[in-house]
Amino acid sequence: MESSAFSCKNGPQRFVSWWIDWHDLDWPDPDNLDRIRRRADSIAESGADAAMVFGAHFRWDFMPYWTILHDYLATVAEELHQRNLRLFDHHSASLIHRYDTREEARQVKLHSGPHLPFAPSREAAASWSFQGKLLNDWRMRDLRDGGILQLPQYAAEQFCHSNPDFRDAYLEYVRRLLAETGIDGLMCDDLIHFMGYISCGCRWCRAKFRESCDSELPPWGDTGFWGNWENPAWRTWLELRFRANGDFLAKVRSVLPEDFPMLSCCSGSSSPYALQIGQDIREFNRGCSMILLEMGGNTPPYPGDPVTWNPPLYERVAQSAHHLATARHTGQCIGLGYGFHEISGNVIWALNKSLGCGTWFSTLKARLGLPLSLLRTLPDDAAPVAVAYRFEQKHPELFDSEARPEIGVFFSYETRNNTAFGAMNTGYIRDFNAALNLCAAHGLPFAVALEIPEEPDRFKVLLLPSAARMSGLEKQRLSRYAARGGVVLATGPSALPEEDGFALPDRLVPGSDEEPEIAPSSRPARWQMLTENIVLHPVRTGEGAEAAALLKNALLKHLPRGRFLVEGGDGYLKFPRYTGRCCLLHLLAAEYDTEVDQKLEAMRRHRSRVNVIRTARPRGVNPRLLLRGIPQVTVILPFQPDRKAKLSPTPDGIHVELPEECIYAILQFPLEMTSEER
């Protein structure tokens, strides 16, 4: 797949959310104008350089009020522009809230507050039209019975992005939006199949299948087709669903001015659910010029609540790796994280800076199930991230750097898209993500490889975790890579040997949680050289600590010794980044003792997604490091400006001791030239 031709290398780096609530839509009220100006001042003072709209999200539900909404957005844009800030609009292109009972309406208000949920009655919605076309005619169809597809998680329905009438209407809306608001960027959201394999069965999706396969889409439940990866028509159907959002976003791109920033929400491509929902960042990039990674849940994690989502930081690093690989072409990746107080703003920003990403910090107050009177006591979005943003604004030279990974972890689209193994929770993606988590947890210099390289110039070692299917071209490129000195470590089910000893399934029941067991390989449990520089071990990287240790030792054995060596600092994630012959080593605490606002948490009417984290302290960190092979070092402490690290030069190198409770530090030091460079 060709990468996007657009680029956004100099776009905003420090976003905060601009929330719209019901009070804001009392427009044009003079008090609201004053409120806009106060908020714009606060954002400017925080060091942010852009605001992202959040609210009035299901934009088609607000169609009767677009005139009011657009004038409000135009005023916000004008005020931000006066302060050298930019405004991006963020809305759902395809979702509409629909409910039939009082209970459903109250559930929407409780659980979908961030959308500013607003919906017409069924009677009114039946007559709503745009450019002479009924909106109801654009809705997705349920493949099981042909009825209108329901999204119970949102009490919503969805327009089909393969419907040309919907596409044309949305393009006209975008033209109108730009003309009437003066926004500086667009986040076009929700172009995926939220209900998985049961969508979409509308006539347009069926026509695309008929055109591609010269046959009708089989009825739901036909096991010769649905979930049968041996059937090429099934694989074509999956490809069409991936392609649909790319086609739509490419059309949106066609009505935007040249170099106009556009992005869409993609919470990750490295998931078995990507096949169900048709989500892949490479397709998004056919229209988008910026890449967004939504880091849902708490950052830092709060393990005290089993209901909310609390992935460890090294999983955040792994989750971002696929997006960062595509960002090499578009030039900018933005990490969106949620929080309510300064500690979350600091950790989210530090994680993004360590990865080389921009930051979008947002509160998520309307997900808390608290009354508005209490939500207004929490800080606005600019305040929690102000310390971090002001530091970046003052020291841009510390963040204009690049990663130089020596390990490439190959993401096998052939395996993910074209095998049942790729669609299993316990299949390919589990092993791929385990390999990423391993590298992130141990500070190994890695990046995702979306293609097999032919030269070992960027990646000295190429890791192929469970690449059970490879194309002939990929195998040819791999042979050339190994012949030119690159080392290949293949693990688990592999397409490289004639027989890898695994019995993988060829079919799954779509949407079922029941997955077949995959027995271990019949091959000996040891490394085996297939050809020079290509070795295979049947262990699957997702099988636990023993498999992880085996792979880590193999990687360390084959990695070339770097120009400097860092010892100690256990408990910190380590991210070496480079600018010229200078290294900027980012150290970020991996684990935390977090405390929440117990009073507010006890008052919540429902629990989901996030907690009100007030404080967090690094846990299990060793503040002492030894840097070998460097002549000098400067330690920068963005969140402890009144503290200093202790530096002790010795014949072994420079000993560094970070201050107590140091969450984040940047170690800056020059690299000595090699004899070849001299």
Q: Verify that 510 and 421 share a domain, yes or no.
A: yes
Q: Which of 533, 558, 583 is the last residue of a domain?
A: 558
Find tokens 């329901």 and name the residue. 150
The per-residue pLDDT for range 284-329, each reduced to its tens digit, is: 999 999 999 899 999 999 999 999 999 999 999 988 999 999 987 7
Which of 1-5, 412-416, 662-666 comes out lowest in average pLDDT?
1-5
Q: Verify that 554 and 637 share a domain, yes or no.
A: no
Q: Render 290-314 in DSSP notation, one character per residue.
A: SEEEEEEEESS--TT-SSS----HH
Q: How far apart are CA 114 and CA 602, in angstroms?
A: 21
Asked whether the beta carbons of 87 and 15 are under 8 A apart, the reply is no
The per-residue pLDDT for range 337-359, each reduced to its tens digit, is: 999 999 999 999 999 999 999 99
Q: Verify that 550 and 580 share a domain, yes or no.
A: no
Maximal C-alpha separation, the chain: 81
Main-chain phi, psi angles of 393, to 5 degrees:
-60, -35
Could you tell me how many residues make up the chain?
678
Q: What is the pLDDT of residue 481?
A: 98
163 in a domain, yes or no? yes
The per-residue pLDDT for range 439-485, each reduced to its tens digit, is: 988 888 999 999 999 999 999 999 999 999 999 999 999 999 999 99
Q: Which of 537, 558, 579 is the last residue of a domain?
A: 558
* Nearest-10 crossing angle of helices 30-46, 66-82: 40
Asked whether the beta carbons of 147 and 141 are under 8 A apart, the reply is yes
The per-residue pLDDT for range 502-516, each reduced to its tens digit, is: 999 999 999 788 899
Residue 8 confidence (pLDDT) above 60: no
Q: What is the pLDDT of residue 9?
A: 56
399 in a domain, yes or no? no
Q: Verify that 132 and 226 share a domain, yes or no.
A: yes
Residue 84, sorted as left (phi over 0), alpha (psi -120 to 50) or beta, turns out to be: left
Q: Verify that 631 and 482 share a domain, yes or no.
A: no
364 in a domain, yes or no? no
Asked whether the beta carbons of 362 and 54 are under 8 A apart, the reply is yes
* DSSP H helical ranges for 356-412: 372-375, 386-394
Q: What is the pLDDT of residue 292?
A: 92
**Which residues does 462 contact at the CB level (< 8 Å), separation at least 6?**
407, 408, 410, 449, 452, 453, 478, 481, 486, 487, 488, 489
Q: How confident is the model at residue 631 (pLDDT cuts 50, 70, 90)?
A: confident
Residue 10 confidence (pLDDT) above 80: no
Q: Tell me what the mean pLDDT of segment 125-147 comes to.
A: 97
Q: Verify that 138 and 238 share a domain, yes or no.
A: yes
Strands 653-657 and 487-491 turn out to be: unpaired
- Secondary-structure percent of the chain, ordered helix, strand, coil, rounded to 5: 35, 20, 45
368 in a domain, yes or no? no
The per-residue pLDDT for range 552-568, each reduced to its tens digit, is: 999 989 887 665 678 99
The per-residue pLDDT for range 353-387, each reduced to its tens digit, is: 999 999 999 999 999 999 989 998 999 999 999 99
Total domains in the fold of the chain: 3
Residue 673 confidence (pLDDT) above 80: no
Residue 1 confidence (pLDDT) above 60: no
The per-residue pLDDT for range 167-189, each reduced to its tens digit, is: 999 999 999 999 999 999 999 99
Q: Tell me what the mean pLDDT of segment 611-630 comes to.
A: 95
Q: In this structure, what CATH number is given to the domain that contains residue 112?
A: 3.20.20.80
Tokens of 89: 């609009």
Q: Verify that 469 and 585 share a domain, yes or no.
A: no
Residue with the larger pLDDT of the pair 2 and 85: 85
Q: How confident is the model at residue 7 (pLDDT cuts 50, 70, 90)?
A: very low
103 in a domain, yes or no? yes
Residue 331 confidence (pLDDT) above 70: no
From residue 26, give the alpha-carbon distance in Å to each of 19, 29, 140: 14, 6, 33
Residue 4 confidence (pLDDT) above 70: no
Question: Which residues are bridge partners to 533 per DSSP?
Answer: none
Q: How far apart are CA 604 and CA 611, in angstroms?
A: 10
Residue with the larger pLDDT of the pair 268 and 7: 268
327 in a domain, yes or no? no
Q: Verify that 486 and 612 share a domain, yes or no.
A: no
Q: Verify that 201 and 265 share a domain, yes or no.
A: yes
Residue 674 confidence (pLDDT) above 80: no
Q: In this structure, what CATH number is given to the domain that contains residue 593?
A: 2.60.40
110 in a domain, yes or no? yes
Q: Tell me what the mean pLDDT of segment 485-493 comes to.
A: 97
Residues 172, 173, 174, 177, Cα dihedral to 10°: 130
Q: How far apart are CA 97 and CA 367, in angstroms?
A: 17
Q: What is the pLDDT of residue 6?
A: 43
Q: Tell me what the mean pLDDT of segment 396-417 comes to.
A: 95
Q: Render 543-561 in DSSP notation, one character per residue.
A: S-HHHHHHHHHHHHHHSPP
* Nearest-10 crossing angle of helices 342-355, 313-330: 50
Q: Tell me what the mean pLDDT of segment 599-605 comes to.
A: 94
Question: Which residues are bridge partners to 402 per DSSP?
Answer: 578
Asked whether the beta carbons of 14 and 391 are under 8 A apart, the reply is no
584 in a domain, yes or no? yes
Which of 3-12, 126-135, 258-267, 619-628 comes out lowest in average pLDDT?
3-12
Q: Which amino acid is at 20?
A: I
Q: Verify that 551 and 609 share a domain, yes or no.
A: no
End-to-end CA distance of the chain: 40
- Coil/strand/helix, residue 628: strand
Q: How confident is the model at residue 2 (pLDDT cuts 50, 70, 90)?
A: very low
Q: Verify that 35 and 180 share a domain, yes or no.
A: yes
pTM value?
Answer: 0.94
Q: How confident is the model at residue 498 (pLDDT cuts 50, 70, 90)?
A: confident
Range of the domain at 450: 407-558
Q: Which of 274, 289, 304 is the last residue of a domain?
A: 289
Residue 645 confidence (pLDDT) above 60: yes
Q: How far apart are CA 668 and CA 632, in angstroms?
A: 9
Q: What is the pLDDT of residue 563?
A: 57
Q: Verify that 519 and 631 share a domain, yes or no.
A: no
Q: What is the pLDDT of residue 468?
A: 97
The per-residue pLDDT for range 33-44, each reduced to its tens digit, is: 999 999 999 999
The per-residue pLDDT for range 43-97, each reduced to its tens digit, is: 999 999 999 999 999 999 999 999 999 999 999 999 999 999 999 999 999 999 9
Sheet with 565-568, edge to edge strand ranges: 565-568, 624-628, 653-657, 646-650
